[in-house]
Structure 1
Amino acid sequence: MSGIIIVGGGQAAVATAAKLRALHDRRPITIIGQEAVLPYQRPPLSKGYLLGKFPFDELLLRPPHWYADQGIEVLTSSRVTALDRTRQAVDLSSGESRLYDALILATGATPRRWPAALGGELDGVYTVRSKANVDSFASELVQGRRLLVVGGGYIGLEVAAVAASQGLSVTLVEADNRILNRVASASTADFIRRLHEAHGADIRESVGVESFVGKAGRVVHAKLTDGSVLDIDFAIVGIGVTPNVQLALDAELDVGNGIIVDGCGRTKDPNIFAVGDCAAFPYRGETIRLECVQNAIEQAEVVAQNILGGTLVYDPIPWFWSDQYDAKLQIAGLTRGYTDTVVRHEDGSRQFSVWYFAEERFLAVDAINDTRAFVSGRKLLDRGLSLPKKVVGDLSTDLVSYVRTAIGR
């Protein structure tokens, strides 16, 4: 018997299944995940879960009984080995074959590993993506140990913050000329850098790792590109992810920086969709991928409606967040193409926001410990509205009141 098959066991997979059931689609739904556990939230892995603030059960996206109640089958520790578009079937690692009416690829992404020839396979060199990843190095977080974090993106910075707060000696290296160079302004990066340095982390920019050096199979040193050598106890590599596209590629679907879909989330095969981190979709004149919870949920819900005959076009206003020490960074919008920024920050205040503009058009906001700025910016973006730079730069302006007036509420 055929039904709906979802390949991947993350946020996008569960969101698609939940929306289909909410829309009263009663066909069999099967979620196929490679991990040995039920689908769970990934963002807390590098924050609260790593700190031991809550047990894994609290990360589960849905309790176990929910799947049974909804008639949704979840295959854990299972992998799709082949996709046959002609038969509309997938072959599983168990040897079983399943037919589908509609197939959703929610295959996610894989963290880039350090090259094996440069020490990437030594014990003590880790990546961060899954529960298994985090569990593998959680016991290394012991006060006084020496950690090297490779990569100054959000994942690397979050792990560095957790480790420094636990009393480890933390060095973070970023090969680019500054941390967060792809995703945030120099002003935001400066604030985050100072935050880490205030907690004792050593942030080194324009410095990369040449190689890891081991002893008896375990990493003990890191040779850096500036010629220095660091003695380390372990390393965490956070140098980005690669979308999982091989299944789509083997099935001769269109693939670029992700599985190519149209605005409705459909691949070139009308019965196959892609959602979440693996999906590359059209967005205002370009093709992009978004790696965030909001995208996984909202894109999945659009796709679920289109599976049932809808023609909805996915046009998100992205938002993200990052927790580091006692600071919360919230981001609304995309900074692509910005030409100018305006900073709002009173001396001595822990609230800090950076507003991005393309000429006079408002694009995005980074808000640190400033939920009012984040919410105000997001409301403007949701309604396609802008605001003058001089208003943002005037600290006497109550932005919440200004935005309420601007949107007529």
Structure 2
Amino acid sequence: MTAGDTAGIVVVGASLAGLRGAEALRRNGYAGRLTIVGDEPHRPYDRPPLSKHVLSGELAPDATGLPELVALDAHWRLGHAATALDREARAITLADGTRLAYERLLIATGAQARPWPAASGGRLQNVFTLRSRDDAARLRTALAGAPRRVLIVGAGLIGCEAASCCRDLGLPVTLVDPNPTPLARSLGTWVGGVLVDCLRDAGVTFQAGAQVLRFEGDASGRVVRAQLADGRAVEADLVIVALGATRATDWLADAGLMADSRGVTCDGACRVLRADGTPCPDIYAAGDVARWPNALCGDRLMSVEHWGNAVAQSAQAARNMLAAAEDQQTYRHLPAFWSSQFGINIKAVGANAGADAVAIVQGTRASRRFLAVYGRAGRSVGAVSFDQARWLPAYAEAVAEGRAFPPIEEATDQGTFLAHAPGFPPARATFHPIGVRHG
């Protein structure tokens, strides 16, 4: 069955990127048929509140809907995931068997939580991941039942935010991670060490340098403990698995594109690349699922799982979809994220990976109010603030321009700084459970 007499533009992914991309198409003058496909039954919603306000009970899951800023006049196909792409026929297949023809296609399917392996206890009751609105609703209900001990596996952004929320709810929490500190991969262990103190003061039991082998359950199939690689056991009656995400690309397996669990590879104009490395003139990608050579980060191939990138990249992709082949504009983006945890507002810009130095340029680590700048080969590549964001926009500009590390001297409230090794963990220390294949 093929739906629709006129193909028009199809957006696959009823996500932030999908919604804002569709709006950008209309703002840029596209008046043809517009179809938005989503695997969830919900209209696009905001994800950042899920690990904060929804888990705490401050916000209902259905109150996270994103505002629609433009009259879309779109055909919504919700609750039916895309399962295949036929590039020659210019059609996608949905889970219900429907085929949707397209003239141009925007892929905005985002990412999905990395699950715990079923063979190692991933299907036990009260083992949760946190990515979708329904995930958050189920986890909120379970937390409201006052579990005796919550175990969180993975001390990245989601894991730390969930730990902070659980402590605010008065729940005992153990946080396990193979690295020495939380957020070690994004901030390094020198800055991440500040969060170790925050965890301790908040009453979180932090098991650093530990890896979970498997979860064990009772006779009813409910999780009761985790076995660690060093032989220790951690008792828990609720587990949150926060092991990062894999890109939602399974439906593209036979499409002849450069797509895998790391994302859909694009050129600088957001055009998806064929398996031979040439761009598809009619298929674009944006948001978490897209990997592209970012000119602001030395043309390094990267994907950015943050709110601002989803909005900006989808707008650029929409613009290029409607432009002539000779008028394709390069997408440049300075990565940025923020997080609220343990009473601290953390904001970061740039790409810290590979930095060889970090320096506190405002405030102090001891006060937990500071701004740190990261450098690589004498150039500033990133900055992070802990409750000290006044100068962050200036450093973001310096990072974008590739100025010397550190770029600003003799600023107000600035003391003498010393450069330190960031302490990024080696590649072997990952968030992934044993037995899971990495992308």
Q: What is the TM-score normalised by the length of structure 1?
A: 0.91
CA separation in 2, counterparts of 1:35 and 1:375? 36
**1:297 alignment partner, one of 311, 314, 328:** 311
1:4-403 matches, within 5 Å, as 4-63=9-68, 69-142=71-144, 143=146, 145-215=148-218, 216-256=220-260, 257-267=262-272, 268=274, 269-283=280-294, 284-309=298-323, 310-343=327-360, 344-346=362-364, 349-386=367-404, 388=406, 391=409, 395-396=413-414
Q: Deviations over 1:49-97 (max 9, x none)?
A: 211222334421125xx67x32122221012222111121112223322
CA contact (8 A) 2:50 2:61 kept: no
Residue identity matched to 2:302: I
CA separation in 1, counterparts of 2:414 and 2:10? 54
Shift of 1:395: 4.7
Comparing 181-190 and 31-40, the one that deviates more: 181-190
RMSD of aligned Cα (Å): 2.2
Distance of aligned partners of 1:111 and 1:347 in 2 relative to their CA distance in 1, 3 Å threshold: closer
Shift of 1:233: 1.2
CA contact (8 A) 2:347 2:386 kept: yes
Shift of 1:348: 6.2
CA separation in 1, counterparts of 2:86 and 2:80? 17
SS of residue paired to 1:139: helix
CA separation in 2, counterparts of 1:252 and 1:209? 37
Q: Deviations over 1:344-393 (max 9, x none)?
A: 43476442222101132111111011121322222323444446468389
CA separation in 2, counterparts of 1:37 and 1:240? 23
CA contact (8 A) 2:163 2:204 kept: yes
SS of residue paired to 2:193: helix
CA separation in 1, counterparts of 2:199 and 2:290? 33
CA separation in 2, counterparts of 1:233 and 1:336? 35
SS of residue paired to 1:226: coil
Distance of aligned partners of 1:397 and 1:73 in 2 relative to their CA distance in 1, 3 Å threshold: farther
Shift of 1:21: 0.9
Q: Deviations over 1:270-316 (max 9, x none)?
A: 21111111111112243111111111111111111110114111111
- Give the gaps of 5 or more residues in structure 1: 399-409
Distance of aligned partners of 1:202 and 1:311 in 2 relative to their CA distance in 1, 3 Å threshold: same
Shift of 1:4: 0.6
Distance of aligned partners of 1:212 and 1:388 in 2 relative to their CA distance in 1, 3 Å threshold: closer
- 1:404 is aligned to none
CA contact (8 A) 1:188 1:366 kept: no
CA separation in 2, counterparts of 1:389 and 1:39? 40
CA separation in 2, counterparts of 1:278 and 1:291? 8
Comparing 128-137 and 373-382, the one that deviates more: 373-382
Distance of aligned partners of 1:18 and 1:395 in 2 relative to their CA distance in 1, 3 Å threshold: same
CA separation in 2, counterparts of 1:396 and 1:293? 31
SS of residue paired to 1:298: helix
Q: What is the TM-score normalised by the length of structure 2?
A: 0.85
SS of residue paired to 1:41: coil
Structure 2 residue 20 is the aligned partner of structure 1 residue 3: no
- Give the gaps of 5 or more residues in structure 2: 1-5, 275-279, 417-439
SS of residue paired to 1:184: helix
CA separation in 1, counterparts of 2:252 and 2:97? 19
CA contact (8 A) 2:149 2:172 kept: yes
CA separation in 2, counterparts of 1:140 and 1:246? 30
Residue identity matched to 1:128: L
Distance of aligned partners of 1:30 and 1:197 in 2 relative to their CA distance in 1, 3 Å threshold: same
Distance of aligned partners of 1:357 and 1:86 in 2 relative to their CA distance in 1, 3 Å threshold: same
Q: Percent identical across equivalent pairs?
A: 31
SS of residue paired to 2:103: strand
Residue identity matched to 1:276: G
CA contact (8 A) 1:7 1:13 kept: yes
Distance of aligned partners of 1:195 and 1:18 in 2 relative to their CA distance in 1, 3 Å threshold: same
CA separation in 1, counterparts of 2:366 and 2:128? 38
CA separation in 2, counterparts of 1:304 and 1:236? 36
Distance of aligned partners of 1:285 and 1:384 in 2 relative to their CA distance in 1, 3 Å threshold: closer
Q: Deviations over 1:124-149 (max 9, x none)?
A: 11101001111111122245621000
Distance of aligned partners of 1:347 and 1:364 in 2 relative to their CA distance in 1, 3 Å threshold: closer
CA contact (8 A) 1:7 1:80 kept: yes
Distance of aligned partners of 1:91 and 1:327 in 2 relative to their CA distance in 1, 3 Å threshold: same
SS of residue paired to 2:281: coil
CA separation in 2, counterparts of 1:355 and 1:393? 14
Q: Deviations over 1:316-339 (max 9, x none)?
A: 111101110311100011112211
